[in-house]
Structure 1
Amino acid sequence: MSDYSIIQKDFYRESGKWLSRIEIWKKCINPNLHFVYILRMAQKHHKIRLLNIFWRIVLRHYQIKYGFQIYPETQIGEGFYLGHWGSLVINPDTIIGKNCNIAQGVTIGQQNRGKNEGSPVIGDEVWIGTNAVIVGAVTIGNNVLIVPNSYVNFDVPPNSVVLGNPAKIIPAENATKGYINRKV
């Protein structure tokens, strides 16, 4: 799969249309899409020294400008969607699946000690609401909705809704129905 195809799939989640390169570039007026485009370019060019340096500098500029702290090392599946811009932190060792939505104020972080030492692994079709916190070497299953302001430091099975602090799991077969649109 080409890097352009991944960018197309990310942008499809926003517009519901397959876009040409020029149409993608025009959509970059939206800060969320602009940042995702730059992030994908930094990921694409990580092995080519000069391009890697260039795209990391550009990415750093937009991390500061838009408030997104997402690094090229973060493994993110296609169809990545940032709902709003500003104040978002994702640890570089985090793994995120396909068709995931992340809102503003979210922290997905590493835990440095204890039984959950490490970084999260997030499955496909996960919706993470505003100001949610996910920390530690936890696994979030597929089709999981994490309600705004939830604190998650434990594994979450597939097909679940997670809410509260301390968080509770509610089994739900269609947990993300109506939340994850335009899947790729």
Structure 2
Amino acid sequence: MSEKHSLIQKDFYRESGKWLSRFEIWAKCINPNLHFIYLLRKTQEYKKRSLPGAFWRFVLRHHQIKYGFQIYPETEIGEGFYLGHWGSLVINPNAKIGINCNIAQGVTIGQQNRGKNEGFPNIGNEVWIGPNAVIVGGITIGDNVLIGPNSYVNFDVPPNSVVIGNPGKIYSTENATDGYINNKV
């Protein structure tokens, strides 16, 4: 896609499949998911110790509590970020999330403090994470991966895979996210 579109426009494109003006983006902020993404991206535009940065962090913190999203501006999130539903979502600020990723409600993407997978997840491009999935540790999730609802993932997942269950089981498939990730940027 074109570089002329802002990061916020690319995120909002995922919802509608249309490039929106600033006014149209603001009008869509009635949706809590899109509103939170807008605030997150605005906060990421400014340095933490600047006046605008402090303002946007204050606003973001209010909406983290209001909507139940615990996503911090330090989290590296690629363009085309999509939140399927709002509420009860935790993403560690050291996690990395690729381009065109979908995350549903109840998901935890967290750190593991000990053991062989100590660290934070690194999630590839075009990954769909279903409701109540848990992804923890210094692991890598490849591109084109679908993580099923209620799955527990504390191991590396190769590209082109589906993970289902607790503990998670990997199934290899070339079309893992077909029909799940729409309006890619």
Q: What TM bracket, shorter-length normalisation?
A: over 0.9
- 3-state SS, counterpart of residue 36 of structure 1: helix
CA distance in 1, matches of 2:42, 2:49: 12
Could you say what the CA RMSD is over the residues aligned between the two structures, in angstroms? Answer: 1.1
Instruction: Read off the aligned partner of 1:166 and give its amino acid letter.
Output: P
- Is the CA contact (8 Å cut-off) linking 2:124 and 2:143 kept in structure 1? yes
Q: Share of identical aligned residues, percent?
A: 78
In the TM superposition, 1:18-167 aligns within 5 A as 18-46=19-47, 49-167=50-168
Q: Deviations over 1:85-134 (max 9, x none)?
A: 00000000000000000000000000111111110000000000000000
- Once residues 170 and 61 of structure 1 are traced to their aligned partners in structure 2, the CA distance between those partners, rounded to angstroms, is 40
How far the C-alpha of 1:60 sits from its partner, in A, is 0.2
- Count of residue pairs brought into register by the alignment: 183
Equivalent position amino acid for 2:34 in 1: L
Unaligned runs of 5+ in 2: none
| SS of equivalent residue, structure 1 residue 162 | strand
Structure 2 length-normalised TM: 0.97
In 2, Cα distance between the equivalents of 1:176 and 1:137? Answer: 23
SS in 2 for 1:34: helix
Q: Which amino acid aligns with 1:139?
A: T
3-state SS in 2 of match to 1:37: helix
Unaligned 5+ runs, structure 1:
none
**Mean alpha-carbon deviation: is it higher for 131-140 or for 47-56?**
47-56
TM-score normalised by structure 1 residue count:
0.97
| SS of match in other structure, 2:6 | helix
Distance in 2 between residues matched to 1:145 and 1:98, nearest whole Å: 14
